[in-house]
């Protein structure tokens, strides 16, 4: 069963809107895990638009499942990750001003850089994952970096699926088959939702983890956090 890692970026967005501490991010992470979340994901961005670097430290002692910190491996991010030593780091090639993550790594052009960052993380006991588009050359390139896992960027699938085009799953199935052959662990994320998650899971062999935030938090506004988490777990079983 693929693990559900709840991305709590958007809880921090709501908190920051008033400058106080409501909703309390640490308590939210505790409760999400109590309701069944098998991991907590955060993505501290350089402008701290939602997750602040301090949040990453505050959350560390209460994330008793798997702690996944995502980000572009600049010096400040790497310093944070090597100090906290989360379960997993997910390397994402986001530009500072990106409205959200919108592309995976060019794992061929960035092979040497990624290999160096990955080996430093692994030396510190941190599992590594790199954010990639679902194309076979990028999967082959990822294997050459020495990463433990890849995270398949699922925006294209989610968008097409929402328009009724289920054929959009094909590249993800093909990339998963190759990743399995190459011994790469498979994570996935971005725009996954209650609507599309089961179909995705059923067509991606070897899927180990999905990280879901934007849709999950939006769904929880209507259905409640506990109900939504339990719904995801049912669809992932």
Ligand X SMILES: CC(=O)[C@@H](O)[C@H](O)COP(=O)(O)O
State how far the Cα of 106 lies from the Cα of 104, in Å rounded to an integer.
Answer: 7
Among 107, 176, 189, 229, binds ligand LD2JLWAY (CB under 6 A): 189
Asked if 43 is part of the footprint of ligand X (rule: CB under 6 A), the reply reads yes
Min dist. Cβ of residue 154 to ligand LD2JLWAY (A): 8
The two tokens of residue 233 are 């777990």
Cβ atoms 146, 122 nearer than 8 A: yes
Asked if 214 is part of the footprint of ligand LD2JLWAY (rule: CB under 6 A), the reply reads yes
- Is 191 within any annotated ligand binding site? yes
Asked if 15 is part of the footprint of ligand X (rule: CB under 6 A), the reply reads no
- 26 φψ region: left (φ > 0), alpha (ψ -120 to 50), beta (else): alpha
Cβ atoms 26, 59 nearer than 8 A: yes
The two tokens of residue 207 are 């899927």
For ligand X, the binding residues in 135-174 under the rule CB under 6 A are: none
Given the structure tokens 């719904």, which residue do they identify? 231
Catalytic residue check, 70: yes
Among 50, 190, 201, 235, binds ligand LD2JLWAY (CB under 6 A): 190
- Is 18 within any annotated ligand binding site? yes
Catalytic residue check, 190: yes
Chain centroid to Cα 222, Å, comes to 23
Cβ atoms 68, 87 nearer than 8 A: yes
Encoded one letter per residue, x for contact with ligand X by CB under 6 A and - for no contact, window 183-202 reads ------xx------------
Alpha carbon distances (Å) from 140 to 11, 103, 179: 35, 17, 8
Q: Where is the binding site for 3-amino-2-oxopropyl phosphate, in residues?
A: 7, 18, 191, 213-214
- Positions that interact with ligand X (CB under 6 A): 7, 9, 43, 70, 92, 100-101, 131, 189-190, 211, 213
Q: Which residues are catalytic?
A: 43, 70, 190
Q: Where is the binding site, in residues?
A: 7, 18, 45, 50, 100, 191, 213-214
């Amino acid at each position: 069963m693929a693990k559900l890692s709840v991305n709590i970026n958007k809880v921090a967005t709501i908190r920051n809107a008033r400058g106080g501490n409501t909703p309390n991010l640490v308590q939210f992470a505790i409760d999400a895990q109590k309701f069944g979340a098998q991991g907590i994901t955060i993505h501290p961005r350089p402008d701290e638009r939602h997750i602040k670097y301090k949040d990453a430290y505050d959350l560390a002692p209460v994330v008793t499942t798997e702690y996944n910190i995502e980000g572009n491996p600049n010096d400040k991010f790497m310093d944070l990750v090597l100090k906290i030593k989360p379960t997993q780091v997910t390397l994402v090639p986001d530009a500072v001003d990106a409205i959200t993550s919108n592309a995976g790594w060019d794992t061929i052009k960035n092979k040497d850089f990624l290999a160096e960052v990955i080996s430093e993380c692994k030396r510190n006991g941190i599992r590594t994952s790199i954010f990639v588009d679902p194309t076979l050359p990028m999967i082959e390139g990822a294997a050459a970096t020495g990463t433990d896992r890849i995270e398949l960027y699922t925006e294209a699938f989610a968008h097409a699926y929402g328009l009724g085009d289920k054929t959009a799953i094909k590249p993800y199935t093909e990339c998963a088959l190759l990743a399995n052959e190459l011994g790469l662990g498979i994570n996935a994320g971005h725009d996954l939702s209650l609507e599309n998650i089961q179909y995705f899971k059923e067509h991606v062999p070897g899927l180990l983890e999905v990280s879901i935030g934007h849709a999950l938090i939006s769904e929880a506004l209507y259905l409640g956090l506990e109900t939504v988490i339990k719904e995801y777990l049912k669809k992932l079983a």
